[in-house]
Amino acid sequence: MSADSESVVLIVDDDHELVKMYRHYLDEEYEVRVATSGEEALERYDPEVDVVLLDRRMPGMSGDEVLKRIRERGVDCRVVMVTAVNPDVDILDMEFDDYLTKPIKRAEIQDVVERMVARDALKRRVLESFALASKLATLEQKLNIEQLENSAEYKRLLDRFTELRNEFELHNSDAYYSDATLEKFEALMDQSGD
């Protein structure tokens, strides 16, 4: 996610009117960039981009190729295919996060971007939680109860881990993703308790 609080969305579609319409739907909540070709999309894409709304069928470089090149750069962002192409088994090897079939309503565009931004934030919290769980488990294996009870640093780590775990229980904008994350937390808790 971008360093500032405003998420960056890149809209990629060769239909200038759709680009203008999607931008209008999103520009009050997000920093919006636009591209009307695959080549332009790669020029406008950088690590600050949080979400890409990507058309599959464009003249020149296709959306499929743009997606492949974005993933090759190793920068993690959420990519939503927004296209008139009905999905088929060819999508199984494509590394996108969601797939919307045109025509798309305003609420659908706003909802998918909101979910992708929330999912990105959730992913960062999951990574932090795994790191904390590993540290906690290491300390619990190496130190005795008295040492743990007297350690302000251990208490700080445990409090942050608990805080993150509670956030997952409250998070509901992407229930499937949240449920899977909670299952991982439960497994971590079981491992650190052994």
Mean pLDDT on 184-191: 55
Amino acid 189: pLDDT:
53
pLDDT digits (tens, 9 = 90+) for 27-82: 999 999 999 999 999 999 999 999 999 998 899 999 999 999 999 998 788 999 99
Q: Dig out the tokens for 23 from the structure.
A: 């931008």
pLDDT value, residue 60: 92
Indicate if the pLDDT at residue 5 is higher than 90. Answer: no
Which one is predicted more confidently, 73 or 90?
73
Q: Which domains does the chain have, with CATH numbers?
A: 8-104 (3.40.50.2300), 120-193 (no CATH)
Those residues whose C-beta lies under 8 Å from the C-beta of residue 127, and which sit 6 or more positions away, are none
Helix (H, G, I), strand (E, B) or coil at 160: helix
pLDDT digits (tens, 9 = 90+) for 92-134: 677 788 888 999 999 999 999 998 988 877 777 777 888 888 8
Q: Where are the alpha helices (DSSP H) in the chain?
A: 16-26, 38-44, 63-72, 106-142, 145-149, 152-170, 175-193
The pLDDT of residue 188 is: 54
Tell me the C-alpha distance between 168 and 16, whole Å.
39
**Rounded mean pLDDT of 155-164?**
87
Q: How large is the average pLDDT for residues 124-148?
A: 84
Query: In this structure, are strands 8-12 and 98-101 parallel, antiparallel, or unpaired?
Result: unpaired
Give the pLDDT score at 75: 77
CB-based contacts of 74, cutoff 8 Å, min separation 6: none
Element (H, E) at 12: strand 8-12
Of residues 91 and 46, which shows the higher confidence score? Answer: 46
Q: What are the tokens at 126?
A: 């999951």
Whether pLDDT at 183 is above 80? no
pLDDT exceeds 50 at position 3: no
Give the model's pLDDT for residue 14: 96
